[in-house]
Amino acid sequence: MKKNTAPTVRESLWMLLGLAVWLTVTILFIGFRPEHVFLALLIAALYFIAPSTRRLIVALLPFIFFGISYDWMNLLPNYEVNPVDVEGLYSTEKRLFGITAGEALVLTPNEFFALHRTALMDFMGGIFYLCWVPLPIFFGLWMYFTRRTEGYLHFAVCFLLVNLIGFALYYVHPAAPPWYAASHGFTAVPGTPGEVAGLGAFDEMTGLGIFNALYARNANVFAAMPSLHSAYTLVAFIYSLRVKGIPLYWRILLGFVTVGIWFTAVYTSHHYILDVCGGIACAIAGWLILEYGLMRISGFNRFMRGYVSYIERPAK
């Protein structure tokens, strides 16, 4: 398709069919939510309204697929596929990273931080965790709008790939977060609602209630390993180093926030150190698979070049 003309009938039908399938499956098997219809209408409008908005929507497809795949995990909860690891992960964390707090008393880092909290870290932890998805997406859009199109697309596809790896591992090894063991013991109970855990301090401090609203909608709490919270800004940081011409301030910001998220994940009892290591491994694996595996396949390389050519913004 020529990128500065209207989409063909075939392309239009594919777009409408894709949106219809997404909405139908979601509404029938997950449940109707008004935002699904709103997003579908927004995507369709941006696709058809003008060449510039159509390029933007096509460029955002990796992030759109990420959102759909995350939502569609509700079609088959991972705890129905494999047993949930609650005690094993807790015991391994304590054995590898346990902190001695007294005679014969060994705490996991999560338990230690639960007893040693500070207002500064409660506040900064909330700020860090608010960045876990928005900051990488904002970084990607910044690359796109500053015409670093190839770098943007590699980052976006890697972001999607890292998510797919992580989602697959959730089914291979369902795992409970630290707060679950602290609140409910070592028996996995399907349908247990999400908890805000240590992030509740940020909500109380600011009065915003952001994390309470977010975690109240968490349909599956047994997806702690790997910690994709720990992966997203790391992927962005990797591409800030890899793409030429990225300003130093982006690298410093992404590096700082990435380390902050790693610490906050443990500090707030949302993840074990093991989960964080798993998220880091997913990010690195996704980058290596894309850049040193898929990009060496001629067909995939041609697809990526064509994709870049289509979404590239014309020079002014």
Provide the pLDDT for residue 1: 45
Q: Cα dist. 82→36, 79, 101, 206, 220 in Å? A: 29, 6, 35, 39, 14
pLDDT at residue 54, as a whole number: 93
- Regions of the chain with pLDDT less than 50: 1-2
* pLDDT score for 4: 53
pTM: 0.92
Cβ pair 70, 232 in contact under 8 A: no
Give the per-residue pLDDT at 190: 87
Q: What is the pLDDT of residue 313?
A: 76
What's residue 122's pLDDT?
Answer: 94
Q: What is the pLDDT of residue 87?
A: 95
223 neighbors 270 (Cβ within 8 angstroms): no
**pLDDT at position 265:** 96
